[in-house]
């Protein structure tokens, strides 16, 4: 099995917060996408919230029946060198015609996704993988995609502080005994007119 190289690229506030509705207002958003384009990755993967904000159609899929798929399965609707992968655990996002996209869509869901939603994706000619009993099993999804897990982390620091209590941070919840993962500065995107500097760090992920 040929294992692809997988990079986790993200944008955070100075205090490590990753809420999409917040980060999109930080200076450095365009630099985030410029850096993403520079990675030149044939396949990109996004979470449901990011996809809902930037990619999906307005609204939410409402199944008329609650019958879950209840098993691992997949459907390949298009052959391509790369895909736009979206994690949508319960199958709620609405989509246009996948044929219009530069990269064909591939949706990852759990086995709790409704059969009706998968029929909806089939009708849109959108590929999908259902794996994981309650949540998407990313490791298994990567196996189905003939892939491994994360090889590199790429983080662009946006010029702003979130500071709100209870908001999600980049690497919350790791055990105390886990060691520090060193990162190296790989780029500095500067706008000296505004005195903004957006550092980009990368390094091997936490094992």
> What confidence score (pLDDT) does residue 138 get?
82
Which portions of the chain are predicted below pLDDT 70? 1-4, 18, 20, 23, 98-101, 146-162, 164, 166-207
Q: Write down all domains in the chain, each with its CATH number in brackets.
A: 7-203 (3.40.430.10)
> What confidence score (pLDDT) does residue 206 get?
45
Helical segments of the chain, H only: 20-23, 29-39, 48-54, 115-123, 138-144
> What confidence score (pLDDT) does residue 25 get?
74
Six-digit token string for 137: 């099993």
Q: Are 72 and 131 in contact (CB under 8 A)?
A: yes
Return d(Cα 74, Cα 65) in angstroms, integer.
21
> What confidence score (pLDDT) does residue 28 get?
72
Judged by phi (left if over 0) then psi (alpha if -120 to 50, else beta), residue 70 lies in: left
Six-digit token string for 43: 């396949």
Per-residue pLDDT tens over the stretch 26-85: 777 778 788 878 888 888 888 888 889 888 999 999 989 889 999 999 888 887 777 888
Q: How many CA atoms lie within 13 A of 194 on its CB side?
A: 9
């Amino acid at each position: 099995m040929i294992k692809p190289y997988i990079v986790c690229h993200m944008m955070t506030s100075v205090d490590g917060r990753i809420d999409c509705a917040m980060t999109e207002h930080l200076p450095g958003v365009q630099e985030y996408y410029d850096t993403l384009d520079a990675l030149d990755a044939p396949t990109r993967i996004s979470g449901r919230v990011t996809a809902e904000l930037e990619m999906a159609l307005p609204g939410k899929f409402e199944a008329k029946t609650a019958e879950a798929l209840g098993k691992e399965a997949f459907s390949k609707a298009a052959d391509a060198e790369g895909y736009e992968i979206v994690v949508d655990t319960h199958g709620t996002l609405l989509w246009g015609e996948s044929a219009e996209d530069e990269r064909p869509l591939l949706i990852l869901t759990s086995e709790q996704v409704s059969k009706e939603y998968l029929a909806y994706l089939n009708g849109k000619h959108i590929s999908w993988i259902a794996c994981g009993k309650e949540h998407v099993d990313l490791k298994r999804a990567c196996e189905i995609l003939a892939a491994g897990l994360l090889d590199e982390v790429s983080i662009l620091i946006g010029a702003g502080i979130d500071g709100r209590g209870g908001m999600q941070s980049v690497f919350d919840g790791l055990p105390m005994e886990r060691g520090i993962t060193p990162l190296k500065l790989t780029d500095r995107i500067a706008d000296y007119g505004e005195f903004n500097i957006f550092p980009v760090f990368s390094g091997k992920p936490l094992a």
